[in-house]
Amino acid sequence: MNMILLSIVIISLISVSLIKYSADHSYERILIGISLESAQKTVNQNEIYYIVKSQQGATGAGYVIEYGKNQSAEIELSGNSPDSQLSNVFFLSKMNMFLIKSTGNIKNPQNLGALFNDAYPNISTIEVDMWEIIVPIKRDYQYRLNGQKSRLFSPKKYIDQFDLQNGDYYW
């Protein structure tokens, strides 16, 4: 009898999870992420591309170059950067990476490659022309503003209409 009850509970939990997963993934896709391999190939073919990772916090540079020329350099981004179009939901986990295309304009290029503490306050700043998010996409809904929603099963390969409606992605 206990096994039957346990089976019913497990099946019910699976059903609820599948329904919630379907609801969380039912929004129209807006921005599809790029694979790390494709991003690395792009960087290898063109010097104005970088793979960067957010390291935003109370102090220090906002990004670090994860792949490409000047790998491990702490930098700031300006222009059409990811943080000009994404909320903290995409930055709090400090796990998301981005393929950025530079305009070629770099402020303080002599400090590119220097650690933040060595270069401060003249940290290198790369002006961004465009960016793509690299999959898997992570979201951290820990700190929500009034009225903002969160979801249990967020998509790992794209930014969707939910993100737009919720104020986590702005065009």
Write out the DSSP string of 70-95: TTT-EEEEEES-GGGTB-GGGTTTS-
| Mean pLDDT value across residues 146-160 | 80
In this prediction, residue 123 carries a pLDDT of 81
- Mention every residue, 6+ apart, whose C-beta is less than 8 A from residue 73: 64, 65, 112, 113, 114, 124
Question: Binning pLDDT at 50, 70 and 90, where does residue 59 land?
Answer: low
DSSP H helices, the chain, are: 2-24, 36-45, 116-119, 161-165
Query: pLDDT tens, 117-146?
Result: 665 677 888 999 999 999 999 988 776 666
Report how far residue 39's alpha carbon sits from residue 51's, in angstroms, rounded to the nearest whole number.
Answer: 7
Question: Binning pLDDT at 50, 70 and 90, where does residue 46 land?
Answer: very high
| Mean pLDDT value across residues 68-76 | 85
